[in-house]
Amino acid sequence: MQLLDGKKTATEIKLEVAEEIKRVKAKGGKIPHLVAVLVGSNGASITYVNAKIAACEKVGMHSTIVRLNDTVSEKELLEEVDRLNKDEEIDGFIVQLPLPKHISDKKVTEAISPEKDVDGFHPWNIGKMMLNLPTFLPATPFGILQLIERYNIETNGKHCVVVGRSSIVGSPIANLMSRNSYPGNCTVTLTHSRTVNLKEITLSADILIVALGKPEFITADMVKDGVVVFDVGITRKADKSKKSGYKLYGDVDFDGVAEKASFITPVPGGVGPMTIVSLLKNTLLAAKGK
């Protein structure tokens, strides 16, 4: 079994991004600027946003957090999105999800300018992805593709099973793994909560990508020997023995599945760091696009 070390790989990519930003700066070019809009005080969201901002600083990219109270109205948030769309100093921005229940994720996502949508969630960018046109790819699927490339994992003709059909991970990665390129050229099965005989399907997977949000859902008896596993899920559970007060779990029972896998991502330190570095690459791409 070989560990797909997202933390190590992300560090290597950050160095590459940092070098590119240095070249831009040396030529008198504009340093990319990423803005993160944080609504409310959700602990996980704060952690994610802080990690993204820290990554920006690490590579020499400008970054800003816009903090809004969770009582902000949908109208006020949309006005903030419009302001960011019009600000020429800002190359890309994200609105951290989830949002409070009184605000429509869909409305906010659609209000973001496609040229600044470095999360890759806007329908315009999703449509271009489906047509295999150059665009911002959703950060987590983009991170998975980079791991596949960096570890030279064979995908041509393989059976890729995706567990979870979200518009953020499951659906886009299913599309990307089936496209006529590398990584890709897989036969893809997209499964979800209504799938019958899920175990039978996962047992046939050469590549298994799991994005459910259900801790340790995939067990050793659900995979075959030699499978390549990408565990996207991350769930916090209280654990008094930990300094943080909680322990992180993936959607895959790592100890059991690792014994059968040829490659597997850990949680934490697998797909998560790759998601953040993909956001940096998209922001750099947005700045270049200007």
pLDDT digits (tens, 9 = 90+) for 78-136: 999 999 999 999 999 999 999 999 999 999 999 999 999 999 999 999 999 999 999 99
Q: How confident is the model at residue 236 (pLDDT cuts 50, 70, 90)?
A: confident
Domain end (from 66, 98, 113): 113
123 assigned to some structural domain: no
225 assigned to some structural domain: yes
Q: Are residues 108 and 170 both part of a single domain?
A: no
Q: How confident is the model at residue 74 (pLDDT cuts 50, 70, 90)?
A: very high
Residue 206: active-site member: no
Q: Give the active site residue among 14, 52, 116, 158.
A: 52
Q: Are residues 62 and 174 both part of a single domain?
A: no
Residue 93 CB coordination number (10 Å): 25
Residue 195 maps to which CATH number?
3.40.50.720
- Counting Cβ atoms within 10 Å, is residue 126 exposed (0-12), middle (13-18) or buried (19+)? buried
Residue 95 three-state SS = strand
Q: Give the active site residue among 5, 91, 117, 119.
A: 119
State which residues form the domain around 170.
Answer: 139-272
Q: Are residues 108 and 160 both part of a single domain?
A: no
Lowest mean per-residue pLDDT among 39-43, 95-99, 147-151: 39-43
Residue 101 maps to which CATH number?
3.40.50.10860
- Joined together, the tokens standing for residue 186 give 């897989």
pLDDT digits (tens, 9 = 90+) for 99-114: 999 999 999 999 999 9
279 assigned to some structural domain: no
Q: Are residues 254 and 166 both part of a single domain?
A: yes
> What's the confidence (pLDDT) of residue 240?
79
Q: Give the active site residue among 14, 96, 158, 206.
A: 96
Q: Are residues 166 and 213 both part of a single domain?
A: yes
Q: Are residues 151 and 224 both part of a single domain?
A: yes
Alpha carbons 11 and 9: distance in angstroms, whole number: 5
Q: Are residues 266 and 178 both part of a single domain?
A: yes
Residue 52: active-site member: yes
Mean pLDDT for the stretch of residues 230-250:
84
Q: Are residues 150 and 236 both part of a single domain?
A: yes
Q: Are residues 264 and 158 both part of a single domain?
A: yes
Q: Are residues 81 and 168 both part of a single domain?
A: no
99 assigned to some structural domain: yes
Residue 2: active-site member: no
> What's the confidence (pLDDT) of residue 290?
62
Q: Are residues 172 and 243 both part of a single domain?
A: yes
206 assigned to some structural domain: yes
CB-CB contact of 100 with 90 (8 Å) = no
pLDDT digits (tens, 9 = 90+) for 175-223: 999 999 999 999 999 999 899 999 999 999 999 999 998 999 999 999 9
Q: Are residues 266 and 143 both part of a single domain?
A: yes
46 assigned to some structural domain: yes
19 assigned to some structural domain: no
280 assigned to some structural domain: no
Q: How many domains does the chain have?
A: 2
As a whole number of Å, the end-to-end CA separation of the chain is 43
